[in-house]
Amino acid sequence: MAEQGMRLDKLLAASGFGSRNDVKKLIRQGRVTIDGVSVRSADAKVQPAEQDIRVDDEPVVYEKYHYFMLNKPAGYISATSGGGPTVLDLLDEPFRDLFPCGRLDKDTEGLLLITDDGPLAHELLAPRHHVEKEYEVELRDPFRAEYVDLFAAGMTMADGTVFQPARLTQTEEKACRIILQEGKFHEIKRMFLAAGNEVVYLRRIRMKNLVLDETLAPGEYRKLTDEEIAGLRALLR
């Protein structure tokens, strides 16, 4: 019968016990057990849901994917590499395949989902799902009541770019909230420029059910709760 399951070293690396090399060392040192029996081969096939796998007697909790909410500070780019510090530099996690789900401009702050769940990220970013994104906006000049209808109608830029309707709510003399259902490059900044104003500060506070945790200072992050993950996954059903 063909061997089934996942390689032991892959499981341990994916579960936060270090790099492939680190975990191979743990295995060679006899510190890893499967159902109480010490195992010394990194390529042993394991069934994480059915077997009791431990490192130094600590149970290995296997999670296929990982999800983090970052309060992005200004000055970091939303990419895995490139010119200047990236949002991934703010995470101290052993998982190799993490990436930001969507982009915020370098000077934009706030909610950014960082995950290694490619299928879920793909769905969240797919235009057909119209996933809502909500931002706090501070403006150079006072908010004008006519912006509400202007933004609600959608906008076509001089270069032909079409921005879908957005909902605006004034919050202060020079501040508002905006809800978008898409995420085109510099969308909010370009819409306000077209309206004769200018965005001086932008912060994302929500994406779908995921609300920025206000206890996170800029640059801090935390794991998503099971409920938050379930809310995002509801898209896939």
Q: Is 105 in the site for ligand URA (CB under 6 A)?
A: yes
Pairing relationship of beta strands 167-172 and 175-180 according to DSSP bridges: antiparallel
* Position 132 contacts ligand URA (CB under 6 A): no
147, with CB counted inside 10 A (0-12, 13-18, 19+), is buried
Q: CB-wise, 108 or 115, nearer to ligand URA? A: 108
| Alpha-carbon distances of 25 from 68, 142, 203, rounded to whole Å | 28, 62, 44
Binding residues for ligand URA restricted to 175-204, rule: CB under 6 A: 186-189, 202
Minimum distance, C-beta of residue 185 to ligand URA, in the bound complex (Å): 8
Show contacts with ligand URA in window 57-96 (CB under 6 A).
none
Q: Spell out the residues 6+ positions from residue 88 whose beta carbon is closer than 8 angstroms to its own.
A: 80, 98, 99, 100, 114
By beta-carbon proximity to ligand URA, the closer residue of 105 and 138 is 105
For ligand URA, the closer CB: 191 or 232: 191
- Give the chain's end-to-end CA distance (angstroms, integer): 34
Contact call for residue 140 and ligand URA (CB under 6 A): no
For residue 131, state whether it binds ligand URA (rule: CB under 6 A).
Answer: no
Shortest Å distance, C-beta 37 to ligand URA: 52
Tell me how many residues contact ligand URA (CB under 6 A): 8
Return the number of the residue (130 or 186) whose C-beta is nearest ligand URA. Answer: 186
Least gap, CB of 133 to ligand URA (angstroms) = 7
Annotated active-site residue 107? The verdict is no
| Residue 188 beta carbon to ligand URA: minimum distance, rounded to whole angstroms | 4
Q: Scan residues 199-228 and list those touching ligand URA (CB under 6 A).
A: 202
Whether 87 and 112 have beta carbons less than 8 Å apart is answered as: yes
Catalytic site residue from 43, 92, 97, 105: 105
Q: Are residues 89 and 100 in contact, defined by beta-carbon separation less than 8 angstroms? A: no
Is 104 an interacting residue with respect to ligand URA (CB under 6 A)?
yes
Q: Rounded to whole angstroms, how far apart are CA atoms 204 and 111?
A: 5
Strands 109-115 and 199-207: parallel
Residue 31 or residue 72: which is nearer to ligand URA going by CB?
Answer: 72
Cα distance between residue 28 and residue 13, in whole Å? 15
Instruction: Provide the β-strand partners of residue 112.
Output: 70
Of 58, 60, 38, 36, residue with least CA distance to 49: 60
Q: Which residues bind ligand URA (CB under 6 A)?
A: 104-105, 108, 186-189, 202
Q: Catalytic positions, please?
A: 105
